[in-house]
A and B are shown apart, each in its own frame.
Chain A
Amino acid sequence: MLKIENLHASVDGKKILKGIDLTIKPGEVHAIMGPNGSGKSTLSNVIAGRDGYEVTAGSISFHGKDLLAMQPEERAWAGVFLAFQYPVEIPGVNNVYLLKAGVNARRRHLGLEELDAMEFMQLVREKARLVELDQAFLSRGVNEGFSGGEKKRNEIFQMAVLEPSLAILDETDSGLDIDALRVVAGGVNKLRSPERSIIMVTHYQRLLDYIEPDVVHVLADGKILKSGDRTLALELEKRGYDWVREEAAHA
């Protein structure tokens, strides 16, 4: 479904990604771990299409299409979703209104009829229940005055409504206490399906206790140095990242 080949990317002329290869099949959950500054967030942003990230080599194919040639909104229509590490506030813009605009833009693009207000509210209520989001959040301004945990929960709620085929969770666990983490992870688990793939970017293996990955990758110095199963994360937790670097240097 997603195939990244030899991806190189720079920010302000500085090389961050130095040849990423990554293949994700439908329904798989991949965890990408790594130290600060290793390029994890850059990878997320490049996939979602944020400005300011220059791809200097390589390709990303998504459902067989050239993702890099698409605008961010086109990627969203194609089924890419990014759960932000730091969701922004948009004062005065109703949370539900933003989502309705997004959902209907996608439906128009796909040649489907737009949902009317009633149908949409029904969908939204159902999804809010799924991720245990208080209905009161629906009518508030986008992330306006939300706590850190509420913002992250809102991201997962948006994911539930937009129903992407690829969700990238960019450090969704950061800043969450254990209860909030449990709720957010519970929401993500309910959204797992054979058609939906997930990339989890995280510092800590803690999140993986709640959302079990199929594959774990170690990203350091702009490259995937090592991939493995769930046990790799546990080993990283115990031994840190340096041994992976050393191993890679001697390989």
Chain B
Amino acid sequence: MSDNAQVEHLVDKKYEAGFVTDIESDTLPPGLNEDVIRHISAIKGEPDWLLDWRLAAFAHWKTMSEPHWAHVKYTPTDYQAISYYSAPKKREDGPQSLDEVDPKLLETYKKLGIPLHEQEFLAGVAVDAVFDSVSVATTFKGKLKDAGVIFCPISEAVQEHPELVKKYLGTVVPTGDNFFAALNSAVFTDGSFVYIPKGVRCPMELSTYFRINASNTGQFERTLIIADEGAYVSYLEGCTAPQRDENQLHAAVVELIAHDDAQIKYSTVQNWYPGDENGVGGIYNFVTKRGDCRGARSKISWTQVETGSAITWKYPSCVLRGDDSVGEFYSVALTKMHQQADTGTKMVHLGKNTRSTIVSKGISAGFGQQSYRGLVHIGKDATGARNHTQCDSLLIGSTCGAHTFPYVEVKNPTATMEHEATTSRIGEDQLFYCKSRGIAEEDAVNLIVNGFCKDVFNELPMEFAVEANRLMEVSLEGAVG
């Protein structure tokens, strides 16, 4: 077992025990019914329209069944066995200092180059102020406020900016879109809300990391980002460090809306617990992410580095409604041990001269199983639409698998489509070549994998790109041989 897996294994074990034996008074008992939803809504002090919205989603969800078309295998989830609300953990429940944290976890943080105060945050240490402080947060909030940017927990936005939330929530991913989106709509507890006003270029990259109250957003996270006309924002989600979480099922929904000439760049690094070397445990990451290029000349760009979770089921998509709008999807996904991923994108071309680019890089090692699933749809009015798709798979060892399921629907004869796909194995030849130049095996594998991922890493914001490189290295430790 690799160091990384060991670390995560230990983390998971510790948390399992704590969760089962220690149900706090402010945690709802397991089960899902209308009362539970009313209760969540009441705790959040939500307006009636939002409660009605949730209840409608729940009514819809009850008529749906869990989808099983993805190329993944798992034991079915018992939705009545999940607790749908848990108050944020009290600080004193966590370790009191880094001395109490598993040294192996710290070693991983160190390898990833994570600063000390962030290590404390990630390991759940009871510290008073996570980011060295209130002052950083204040400066940060001040700058955004000056620019007119709204960036806050979505529960706060419901209170402070109800008109915006009401106008946009569920307009990209409708409540009944799919089984998990419906569930999320019914029971989501928190997430991020971002609004960039007309003509504003957000003065900094927004990160969940800097969002106050970021911890414990729970398993049903809801994110809504709106870029008004001519606005620009770059949003970073997640982080490279292995994150603790006691919830097995994650069913997040992310909605992006770009008006005329607006641009949204959304980058994700996902490294949830992947399960142990026997494929036991790990997060089920069933996420619905969709961006709506609502305005002309708008652009939405998804970049993701997915290395965690036992099962990933995720298709960040773009609806290219506005004429001349642009959608992009850049993805690196790594499956090792018994991880399974069915991931890709949908590019739905509705407007004229819309363009989309898909670059997907899948890496499988151990018993990892990975599928690329992508849909390119060219609507009948999408004259002059163009798509370029490139999906490459890299296999390490002989017990893993890579699969490609590209779907294409073209209803307008002027469309231009390009599709390239390759599957290769890290060859003995490449490894020996590197070794004969003095590079040890593990470094050689990292070198080859990072070369393979380069096109995608180049799309990440600078500091994320460096971290992503290190993340691949740490994740691949022990994956070879």
Q: Please list the residues of chain A having a beta carbon within 8 angstroms of any beta carbon in chain B.
A: 48-52, 71-73, 75-77, 80-82, 84, 87-88, 90-94, 97-99, 101-103, 105-106, 109, 141-142, 158, 162
Contact = CB atoms under 8 A, between A and B. Distances in A.
B345 to A, nearest CB: 21
B443 A90 contact: no
Contact of A77 (B427, B438, B441): B438
Given A76-B438, A92-B451, A93-B451, A105 B443 contact: yes
Contacts, number: 83
Interface string B418-445: 0000000001111011111111110100
Nearest to A76: B438
A92 B450 contact: yes
A57 B451 CA distance: 39
22 contacts: A50-B432, A51-B428, A51-B432, A71-B440, A73-B438, A73-B441, A76-B436, A88-B427, A88-B433, A90-B430, A90-B447, A92-B451, A93-B451, A97-B447, A98-B434, A101-B437, A101-B438, A105-B440, A105-B443, A106-B438, A109-B438, A162-B438
A91 B451 contact: yes
B430 A98 contact: no
B448 A93 contact: yes
Contacts of B443: 101, 105
Contacts of B436: 48-49, 72-73, 75-76, 80-82, 84
Contacts of B455: 92
Nearest to A84: B433
B432 A99 contact: no
B209 interface: no
Contacts of B110: none
A20 to B, nearest CB: 20
A93 B447 contact: yes
A63 B452 CA distance: 38
B284 to A, nearest CB: 32
Given A88-B427, A90-B451, A93-B448, A103 B438 contact: yes
Contacts of B447: 90, 93, 97-98, 101
A105 B433 contact: no
A89 B430 CA distance: 7
Contacts of A162: 437-438
A122 to B, nearest CB: 19
Given A88-B430, A92-B455, A98 B450 contact: no
Contacts of B435: 49, 71-73, 76
Nearest to B454: A92
B454 A98 contact: no
Contacts of B441: 73
B442 to A, nearest CB: 11
B300 interface: no
Nearest to B428: A51
A101 B434 CA distance: 9
Which of B437, B443, B447, B453 is most buried by chain A, counting CB atoms within 10 A of its CB?
A: B437
A49 B437 CA distance: 12
Contacts of B428: 51-52
Given A76-B435, A98-B434, A91 B452 contact: yes
Contacts of B433: 84, 87-88, 90, 142
Contact of B439 (A50, A87, A101): A101
A72 B430 CA distance: 13
A92 B435 CA distance: 18
A49 B434 CA distance: 12
B439 A98 contact: yes
A73 B440 contact: yes
A222 B447 CA distance: 36
Contacts of B427: 88
B451 A73 contact: no
Contact of B438 (A87, A90, A102): A102
Given A81-B436, A90-B430, A93-B451, 10 more contacts: A49-B435, A50-B432, A72-B435, A76-B436, A91-B452, A92-B451, A98-B439, A99-B437, A101-B437, A142-B433
Interface string B440-474: 11010001101111110000000000000000000
Contacts of A105: 438-440, 443
A37 B434 CA distance: 26
A77 B436 CA distance: 9
A178 B157 CA distance: 73
